[in-house]
Structure 1
């Protein structure tokens, strides 16, 4: 069994400037003000749109992120319905195969320190899940049958595509301290990507 940390990567190649230009072109149709487009107009125009709550305009650009986390977190992520998802499937992935180094991989919980009694109990539970999974596969069960004993902490990989408006909604809910700690951990990682690559679209969002 392998224990890893969660991580996220930005898969979209569109720059903030390209996103701004496309959204400005779409937004100015509303006012038929295309004649006002120039090299510096997009940022001011979209800041104004966001300040007025006209967020439907920013739906014209979608951003894709790859997330490696545990399956418990993805159960929460996919509740955001205005999105597209592609996720590692426990129906078809056989973790006893060489492709997976003949072991399951689990995500370390953020809320327990290694060596604590809670962490030790969790690790023992994960090891028992792995033993049960391997026993079922060796007894002739298919991966989709044996997955019944796999834990919420199982590592999974998911591609997430949302438009800018939905990402703003996602951050407002999932970066909050009211969110599950591991969900908040992932949301903050993605938020940091947006702060680096698309700061204008989230600059007014306060996170805990």
Structure 2
């Protein structure tokens, strides 16, 4: 068992993502049937540049629902159960997480918070506790098996001693609109450090795959031009909303 680090891989994006979003937007404003233009989109007869310009222009009006037709799927490892408890609160998404019932965790890795890593005494105590938790987990497994419990089933109740810092792996799928909302909340400096780091990695992958949607994505203040938080919680990058309203640019 040891401290681990985040790793995110983009597994899949809806095929022909730009063309699909363009077609969905066009259907909202087009008297005809976009199915008839689909082959022209795929062939490049209607250039990707033209499609991207149209999508970007409509997005600035606040019309976002057509981007829901495209989804991204990520494989995520090196994150804590503390993080995934936050992640799964984003409900318009699909998740498949490593099970502590079926996966033996006696040699678990863990996430080491940077604040603890900077203080030698805090790090030592944290890592000692992780070793204690692993020992307790193995002891409980052995006691349950000795009592007649099936070895694999012993994980089910032994896992109750595992701390929130235990490393886990998860596959997550979100559509573009859900991702934009996720980035607005989790790229903010007020977000917990671990999920903020995850959001940054996911956003970099999204920008590379579909820049027309994600080039300007990020914390909500980036879109608004002001901080929507109370001034007590603002990081100071943008003026808070009260200041912005009283001092218009």
Both proteins in one fold, TM over 0.5:
yes
The match for 1:95 among 95, 105, 117 is 105
Equivalent in the alignment of 1:63: 72
Equivalent in the alignment of 1:27: 25
In the aligned structure 2, how far is the partner of 1:159 from the partner of 1:206? 21
**1:122-174 deviations in Å (ceiling 9; x for gaps):** 11111111010000011126101000000111111111100000000000100
Contact 1:82 1:166 (8 Å CA) reproduced: yes
Equivalent in the alignment of 2:85: 75
Equivalent in the alignment of 2:184: 172
Equivalent in the alignment of 2:4: 4
**Greater Rg over alpha carbons, structure:** 2
In the aligned structure 2, how far is the partner of 1:14 from the partner of 1:58? 11
The 3 A distance-change label for structure 1 pair 77 and 111 is same
The 3 A distance-change label for structure 1 pair 187 and 83 is same
Displacement after TM superposition at 1:198 (Å): 2.1
Secondary structure at the aligned position of 2:115 is classed as coil
Return 3-12 or 26-35, whichever deviates more: 26-35
In the aligned structure 2, how far is the partner of 1:138 from the partner of 1:114? 36
TM-score, length-normalised on structure 1?
Answer: 0.89
Kindly indicate whether structure 1 or structure 2 has the higher relative contact order, using CA contacts under 8 Å at least 6 residues apart: 1
The match for 2:134 among 130, 154, 162 is 130
Contact 1:137 1:143 (8 Å CA) reproduced: yes
Residues paired across the two proteins, number: 200
Q: Given the alignment of the two structures, is residue 139 of structure 1 paired with residue 151 of structure 2, yes or no?
A: no
Aligned residues: CA RMSD: 2.0
The 3 A distance-change label for structure 1 pair 139 and 83 is same
The match for 1:190 among 198, 202, 205 is 202
Displacement after TM superposition at 1:205 (Å): 2.5
Contact 1:71 1:153 (8 Å CA) reproduced: yes
Secondary structure at the aligned position of 1:86 is classed as strand
TM-score, length-normalised on structure 2?
Answer: 0.75
The match for 1:44 among 49, 53, 56 is 53
Contact 2:14 2:71 (8 Å CA) reproduced: no
Identify unmatched segments of 5+ residues in structure 1. 97-102
Displacement after TM superposition at 1:29 (Å): 1.0
Displacement after TM superposition at 1:199 (Å): 2.0
